Amino acid sequence: MKKLVTLILVCAFSTSAFSQISRIVKRMYFDKDTSRKSSFVILPVLSSAPETGLEVGGAGLLSFYTDTSKLNTRVSNVFGYASITTKGQSRLSLTTSYWTPANNYHLTAGISYINFPFNFYGIGNNTLKTNSDRIGQKRFKVNFTAEKKYPITCMPA
């Protein structure tokens, strides 16, 4: 009897949870938004390669307008990415593209960290697994750019 009640409760909760998740996914990916409100999207990351093994993580994108009253203002965004692999490697990245009202300035910035340790076995065909050296490759990158819009005036000829 307890198993039957537990099964009914699990089915009831999973059905309501699935309907909530499907509603969120539908709103995130399939509904057209003309209100110029900010939006947030999450995507899973899954890949595989011989060098990295299985890689899992996630990515998120926040898109927004700095001035919703003007229709010509471009969309700004913040993008984040994080993943880890089964071979002990990791990536972390955060980038942004920001447009000021009336598109007068465009600012971009980014920060990323990559940790890719790997085994080096030597050069040639006669390399042994016992001769492996663990090499750590870590990269840290920061960038920032700014652009300003200048009105173009044509001089009469």
pLDDT averaged per 10 residues in sequence order, the chain, 157 residues:
63 59 60 71 89 90 84 88 92 94 92 88 80 85 93 72
Output the six-digit token pair for 145.
Answer: 């750019």
What pLDDT score was predicted for residue 32? 61
pTM reported for the whole predicted model: 0.67
Amino acid at 40: F
48: in domain:
yes
Structural domains counted in the chain: 1
Residues in the chain: 157
8: in domain:
no
What pLDDT score was predicted for residue 153? 76
Do the beta carbons of residue 59 and residue 46 sit within 8 Å?
no
Only one residue has tokens 């009640």, namely: 5
What would you measure as the largest C-alpha separation in the chain, in angstroms?
93
What pLDDT score was predicted for residue 142? 97
What pLDDT score was predicted for residue 4? 63
HEC letters along the chain: CHHHHHHHHHHHHHHHHHHHHHHHHHHHHCCCCCCCCCEEEEEEEEEEECCCEEEEEEEEEEEECCCCCCCCCCCEEEEEEEEEECCCCEEEEEEEEEECHHHCEEEEEEEEEEECCEEECCCCCCCCHHHCEEECCEEEEEEEEEEECCCCCCCCC
What pLDDT score was predicted for residue 54? 93
Candidates 33, 28, 83, 79; CA nearest to 53 is 83
147: in domain:
yes
What pLDDT score was predicted for residue 17? 54
4: in domain:
no
Structural domain containing residue 75? 38-122+130-151
63: in domain:
yes
25: in domain:
no
112: in domain:
yes
24: in domain:
no
